[in-house]
Amino acid sequence: MNELTSLVDWSRAQFALTAAYHWLFVPLTLGLSVIVAVMETIYYRTRDKKWLGTTKFWMTLFAINFAIGVATGIILEFEFGTNWSNYSWFVGDIFGAPLAIEGLLAFFMESTFFAVMFFGWEKVSPRFHLTSTWLTAAGASISALWILIANSWMQYPVGMEFDPAQMRNVMNDFWALVLSPVAINKIIHSVFSGWALAGVFVVGVSSWLLLKRRNVEMALRSIRVGAWVGFAGILITVFSGDGSAKVVSKVQPMKLAAMEGLYHGEQGQSIAAFGILNPAKTHDNDEPPFLFDISIPKGLSFLAEGDLNAFVPGISDIINGVKVSSEGDTLNTVPYAERIAIGKEAHKALKQYDDAKKAGDTAAMNKANMALQKNFKYFGYGYFDTPEEAIPNVPITFYAFHIMVIFGSYILLFFVIVLLCLYKKSLTKLLTDSKPVQYLAILSIPVVWICSEAGWVVAEVGRQPWVIEGLMPTRAAISDIPTTSVIITFSIFAAVFTGLLAAELNILFKFISKKSKENIDNPTI
């Protein structure tokens, strides 16, 4: 059992490492591709070479980031086969479909038109080049769309049924998969958060140019486009985040409880705007959940249900199967201990089905299948022995969620201030001449990246221990490989990814520094 736990932990760590590094590059690709397309559109309409130089400057930064992001993304998909082969078998017909579409359609389109965009300035017409730039941006977003659909299915498995003859799940409703509320909100939230991140990146880099007094007019033009795209992105991100919270409250209530460090819910539940968790608190003791907190009365009820007086269950309530109706009546749902028992019955029925199939006993197969279908809803819980095993890591989920919210609020305020400075003449000098403001814009670049990574941590850690919510925990999804192999590859990936990140930063910094000393407004094609 210790060997299994070690293998699971190291496999999870390796996948988390790869995903975290990959997510450093993805949002900048999503947002910067749109900003570059907007800049080229302005150049196409005005034929002003100043906009051509601006476009080419940011397009080169986009290309550098795009190349590194592809490398980490390919490795991430391979890990499903190497480290999570049981998962891949269990859901291959479902999970593989959106990934296949992403590879055959979106990535192909993105890569093809990226080549035209970057190398085709003198080889194609201006209109076709502009079209290629927009199609590159569209391809990046479509690529993210299909990957996020696949991820959303892991959070909320719909559009499938379990086939005991194949011992795996098969798709029976493709559109339920694509149009699930989790997928819709996750796509909007993730793609437009990339706009916000890229907007901060453009404003921050441009502020460095202003700080050095280099290409001042070009920097101000870039800030104007970056700030508007980023502002639109953060507004939509906030809106979709509210929708995501409402969906999570319905399909992943344990995740929502972990996000708020909530153990015992109530009607008119407050929300912790800021708090320090009590490390001694568990779901079955009377310790207070917080050492210190600042709460907004009834905030979580409104966030989760849109009703100030709605009941929001906590971790203990969910485990014990307690829910309260809008009228205040206590309703009993299925407690986790009972779910575990039902899940084990489903496992037993599946074993009986397999034995009957081998024996050629059709009647016994039908009987076992009926028992399996009756209990399959809680199939995944049958892998657990205690309810505590189904609780995610509350501290990581809680702190990551609050970092995301606090930093996201800062980013919204940041764009409001930048736009005010741009369009109110009395404040414009703050951008061009105030070193504290310029340094603040530069330092906002790591802030927005931390916010972005924190959001991904909430999404993935909050659903643990499930690799497929309610159906398959991580312990059942891993490949039968030696733990030492995973440790070795983890170490290799950590070194390689860190090297790639260092290389990208070095290339970015050198390019920005070198190009800033030239006249960007007077480019050569």
- Residues whose CB falls within 8 Å of the CB of residue 159, separated by 6 or more in sequence, listed in order: 94, 153, 171, 172, 173, 174, 175, 176, 177, 180
pLDDT of res. 44: 94
Determine contact, residues 318/254, Cβ cutoff 8 Å: yes
Last residue within a domain, chosen from 319, 352, 387: 387
Same domain (yes/no): 382, 415: no
Percent over 70 (pLDDT), the chain = 97
pLDDT at residue 156 tops 60:
yes
Confidence of residue 298 (pLDDT cuts 50, 70, 90): very high
Same domain (yes/no): 266, 241: no
pLDDT at residue 388 tops 60:
yes
Task: Say if 521 falls within a structural domain.
Answer: no
Compute the distance between CA of residue 136 and CA of residue 138 in angstroms, rounded to an integer. Answer: 5
pLDDT of res. 2: 58
Q: Please give the tally of structural domains in the chain.
A: 3
Lowest mean pLDDT among 16-20, 486-490, 512-516, 521-525: 521-525
Q: What angle do CA 304, 305, 310 make, to 5 degrees?
A: 105
Compute the distance between CA of residue 228 and CA of residue 195 in angstroms, rounded to an integer. Answer: 10
Compute the distance between CA of residue 352 and CA of residue 361 in angstroms, rounded to an integer. Answer: 11
pLDDT of res. 196: 97
Confidence of residue 110 (pLDDT cuts 50, 70, 90): confident
Last residue within a domain, chosen from 387, 405, 427: 387
Same domain (yes/no): 63, 158: yes
Same domain (yes/no): 358, 324: no
Task: Say if 225 falls within a structural domain.
Answer: yes
CA dihedral 463, 468, 471, 476 (to 10 degrees): -100
Same domain (yes/no): 69, 42: yes
Same domain (yes/no): 237, 288: no
In this prediction, residues 13-25 reach a mean pLDDT of 89
For residue 112, CA distances in Å to 116, 133, 394, 424 come to 7, 11, 43, 42
Rg (CA), the chain: 25
Same domain (yes/no): 46, 126: yes
Determine contact, residues 517/38, Cβ cutoff 8 Å: no
Task: Say if 424 falls within a structural domain.
Answer: yes
In this prediction, residues 127-135 reach a mean pLDDT of 94
pLDDT of res. 3: 59
CB atoms within 10 A of CB 195: 28
For residue 54, CA distances in Å to 279, 344, 518 come to 51, 62, 12
Task: Say if 524 falls within a structural domain.
Answer: no
The tokens describing 487, both together, are 């440790």
Compute the distance between CA of residue 122 and CA of residue 308 in angstroms, rounded to an integer. Answer: 60
| DSSP state at residue 391 | -
Same domain (yes/no): 97, 59: yes
pLDDT of res. 258: 94
Segments in 156-269 forming alpha helices (H) = 174-178, 181-211, 216-251, 253-259
Confidence of residue 525 (pLDDT cuts 50, 70, 90): low
pLDDT at residue 5 tops 80:
no
pLDDT at residue 443 tops 70:
yes
pLDDT at residue 329 tops 60:
no
Same domain (yes/no): 178, 195: yes
In this prediction, residues 281-295 reach a mean pLDDT of 90
Same domain (yes/no): 108, 151: yes
> Helix, strand, coil: what percent of the chain each, to 5?
75, 5, 20
Return the sign of the alpha-carbon dihedral for residues 299, 305, 309, 311.
Answer: negative
CB atoms within 10 A of CB 329: 9
Same domain (yes/no): 169, 86: yes
Last residue within a domain, chosen from 317, 332, 347: 332
pLDDT of res. 144: 87
pLDDT of res. 280: 92
In this prediction, residues 158-177 reach a mean pLDDT of 88
| Helical (H) or strand (E) element with 286 | none
The tokens describing 345, both together, are 């019955």
Confidence of residue 326 (pLDDT cuts 50, 70, 90): low
Confidence of residue 4 (pLDDT cuts 50, 70, 90): low
Lowest mean pLDDT among 99-103, 168-172, 239-243, 290-294: 99-103
pLDDT of res. 452: 94
pLDDT at residue 1 tops 70:
no
Report which listed range, 71-80, 322-331, 353-362, 443-452, is most confident: 443-452
Task: Say if 523 falls within a structural domain.
Answer: no
Task: Say if 29 falls within a structural domain.
Answer: yes
| DSSP state at residue 104 | I
Determine contact, residues 11/486, Cβ cutoff 8 Å: yes
pLDDT of res. 331: 60
Range of the domain at 359: 336-387
pLDDT of res. 67: 77
Bigger pLDDT: 204 vs 251: 204
pLDDT at residue 77 tops 90:
no
In this prediction, residues 1-30 reach a mean pLDDT of 85
Confidence of residue 96 (pLDDT cuts 50, 70, 90): confident
Query: What average pLDDT does the chain have?
Result: 89
Task: Say if 522 falls within a structural domain.
Answer: no
Lowest mean pLDDT among 65-79, 233-247, 423-437, 496-510: 65-79
Confidence of residue 184 (pLDDT cuts 50, 70, 90): very high
Same domain (yes/no): 370, 441: no
